[in-house]
Amino acid sequence: MNKIKVAIADDHTIFRDGLKIGLSRDERLDVVLEAQDGNQLLQGMESIVPDVILMDLKMPGMDGMEATNEVKKKYKDVKVLIVTMYDDDKFIIHLMENGANGYLLKNADPDEILQAIYAVHENDVYFNDLVSKALLKKLITKGNVKPTFKQNIELTERELEVLNLICEEQTAAEIGAKIFLSPRSVEGIRQRLIEKVGVRNTAGLVMFAVKNGIVKA
C-alpha cells in the first residue's frame, strides 16, 4: 500500500505535534516533513516531495501565501491544504485562485482534516460546506471578487457533463463509471477544461462554473 506523504508547515510546535499524533492514527498517511515556515518547507522538499501539504498562513520568514505560490511553481502536482485561523473571504479566494486545493480552519474536526487530505489527493480539491462553498456563492455571485477567466469560452456537451460531475466532487473513476469513459479520458477532459477556462486547478473550474450559472454553489 502506497502511503500518502504529508508535510506540515506551521510555526507552532504544539499544533504540528497535535496534527502528527492525529494523522499517525491513520496507517495510510505518513508525515514525512515538518517546517516552521515556507523557507524551511521548500528546503525540505529538495530531499523529499510530499503528496499533500498542510499549510499555515501566518508564519515568520516566508508566510503561507508566498510558500503556496512557490510550491505550485516548482511542484505542480503537490496538493496544498491551507489550515489556518483566518476565515477572511479575500484570503480564501486569493489562495484558491493561486492554486491552493482546499481551505480549512484550525478548529476543524480531526476527521474533516483527514477527509480533506484524501479529497485533494484523489480529486484535486476539497470544498467544505462551512468555508468554501458558502464563500464561493457569496463572493462570486455577489461580485465582491471577480476571478479572471478567458472570454467567449465554448464548452462541448461532454465537457459540461464532466464539469457538473467535477463540481459534485466526484473522482475521475466515479465520473468515468457514470458516463462510460476511462478515468484517463476523464482526466484528459478535466485538463482540457482547465486550459480552455484559463485556471490553475479544479478549484478554479468550480469557481468558473458557479460564476457562470453552470452549477449552483
Q: Render each residue's pLDDT in the chain as its tens digit; 217 residues.
A: 689 999 999 999 999 999 999 999 999 999 999 999 999 999 999 999 999 999 999 999 899 999 999 999 999 899 999 999 887 777 777 787 788 888 898 988 888 899 999 989 988 888 775 555 555 665 555 555 555 667 778 899 999 999 999 888 788 889 999 999 998 999 999 999 988 988 777 877 887 887 777 876 5
SS3 state at 194: helix
pLDDT at 137: 60
Residues 55 and 127 in one domain: yes
Residues 66 and 116 in one domain: yes
Domain limit, last residue, from 140, 172, 203: 140
Number of domains composing the chain: 2
Residue 216 within any structural domain of the chain: no
Domain limit, last residue, from 121, 140, 159: 140
Nearest to 147 by CA among 213, 73, 212, 207: 207
Domain CATH number, residue 160: 1.10.10.10
Domain CATH number, residue 30: 3.40.50.2300
Residues 91 and 35 in one domain: yes
Predicted TM-score (pTM) of the model is 0.72
Contact of 102 with 120, CB cutoff 8 Å: yes
pLDDT at 204: 79
Cα dihedral sign for 113, 114, 115, 118? positive
Residues 18 and 111 in one domain: yes
Range of the domain at 34: 4-140
Determine the length of the chain: 217
Amino acid at 185: S
Residues 157 and 175 in one domain: yes
What tens digit of pLDDT does each residue of 11-61 get?
999 999 999 999 999 999 999 999 999 999 999 999 999 999 999 999 998
Residues 119 and 92 in one domain: yes
Secondary element (H or E) of residue 71: helix 64-74
Residues 103 and 164 in one domain: no
